[in-house]
Chains A and B, each alone.
Chain A
């Protein structure tokens, strides 16, 4: 292991404090307030524990490499599990917090594809795309912003392409505004993309535009394929005829927004239908936009 949390932990807590905290986490907590109190004092320990399990999973499945990128990857997923634990734990009391965290992580790792892993997605470009699409699965702001980052569409064009109206259109503008205000920055931070890396990506895009967009398209397909599973079961890909019916009859607003943002093939199909002046806009090709 090149990097580890052990030296940092050593600075934060002495061994005896750590043992005492672990002891408290193993004891039964009876109320939600007690759970909050015990857990808030032990967040670093719990984060390391969840990250440690994820690392073990990657090792056992032959996906682990000793480098910073992998260390940060397991930390990200450890944080994801810990966030769920903090929320769900309150409804699981009385419980033993440490064992509850173990069970939550074990449950996640027992799934077929617990997380979107690919060595390509650990590069700066891969992290950027993975971060965007991963965020889009849980944030409507990021979902709408995908139209901009992937195809360079503005809010007006998104409204035209998705054939939205009224209050829904207003929400699109709001989503864009919030994404530009804080969402993009937060996502970049969460994926640990530094200013230098962003600058490097910009240069790469300028000098090797074609190659850059080809790589982006490939990684986007990978990430979209994984995170589209976060859609409801009743949002599968539709045929050209079904999309036509949906757009002509004006139903399925949420369907259009959620599915088309995460499915390039269906977006192409809808584009070909040429509803409401969508054909006036150039057909969407992946042209990654790094800035919001």
Chain B
């Protein structure tokens, strides 16, 4: 029985928590909001400054997005579609969170933007901006309220005036029986002079107030005219700034186009030169190859020639040595003959030229 009561109390507590919803959170309005994707925490939305954005991509399909406070209370969320976009705008205390979910075949992405309420967020910024800017930001609201107040005052005054005039006119048009002595008790409707005087005073007061009101209205109108002038100036300045920005952009674009053209031209020239250079390099490479081939051939020829020269040089030296031996033998024989021959032969031998290297055997003989 006790466990039943315990269970019932627990169930009731859970239901109460659920009814309280986001009010259970004890976080302050400036504390960050946690973003959960498919029940996994993916980031924070900061509420301290201005707008904050969180962009998350996922390989897997997104099923749900949850926003939770730092103490874990579920503030809001979005169930993602199986395919395509879904957006939601969740209003929290002093904040609105915009959720955009996109699911594709490749996965999903989510974009969460935290936008503080204007009053909450821009209070300090507005103080920095100036009166002109303020007026420019909310001209319609200001003018509307002012105009309504003025119109209301005018209507009120007009009604009061009409009332007074009707009252006076009625008094004047009513036949006055002055010949009859009328007392206050007999004619209760007849106003005494004192009251009339008071009424006149009130009327004077009213007219003074009206004058004041008219003056105030005029002042307001002047103020509004000034404000409008300022706004006009501001808008003209803004237009001028915008036109300047546009001019600058156009110039930049034109300059950009010129730059592009020049760059393209330079690139074309460079490309052409590069191509020429490549062609030249190619031809030079071919010529170089040819030359190296020729050089190799020449070297081969040279080698062959050297070999042949060497072989011929050996033959010549051998033949020269043989000639020398033959010459020495001949000289010996001649000397022998001179020793025993007649003087003519001796004379002929003296007239003989001396032998030198390279002298052929025939000439010696």
Contacts and interface: CB of A to CB of B under 8 A. Distances in A.
Interface stretch (A152-160, A175-183, A265-273): A175-183
A83 interface: yes
Most chain A Cβ neighbours within 10 Å, of B11, B26, B34, B86: B11
| Chain B residues touching A, range | 35 or more
B64 A88 contact: yes
Contact of A83 (B3, B18, B34, B42): B18
A141 interface: yes
A183 B79 contact: no
B214 to A, nearest CB: 50
Main secondary structure of the interface of A (DSSP, over half): helix
B274 interface: no
Interface stretch (A228-236, A240-248, A277-285): A228-236
A25 to B, nearest CB: 16
Contact of B72 (A40, A43, A84, A135): A135
Nearest to B73: A139
Given A79-B14, A139-B72, A40 B77 contact: no
B71 A84 contact: no
B39 A178 contact: no
A232 B44 CA distance: 13
Interface stretch (A55-63, A68-76, A118-126, A198-206): A68-76
Contact of A141 (B14, B64, B71): B71
B18 A82 contact: yes
Interface residues of A, number: 50
Given A75-B14, A84-B64, A91-B88, A68 B3 contact: yes
Contacts, number: 109
A154 B6 CA distance: 35
Contacts of A140: 34, 70-72
B46 to A, nearest CB: 10
A138 interface: yes
A139 B68 contact: yes
Contacts of A192: 10
A178 B26 contact: yes
A8 B18 CA distance: 18
Interface of B: 3-4, 6-8, 10-11, 13-15, 17-19, 21, 24, 26-27, 31, 34, 36, 39-42, 63-64, 66, 68, 70-72, 74, 76-79, 86, 88
Interface of A: 2-3, 5, 7-8, 40, 43-44, 47, 68, 71-72, 75-76, 79, 82-84, 86-92, 107, 135, 137-142, 174-175, 178-179, 181-183, 186, 189-190, 192, 229-233, 258
11 contacts: A7-B4, A83-B74, A91-B77, A137-B41, A138-B34, A141-B72, A181-B26, A183-B26, A192-B10, A230-B40, A232-B42
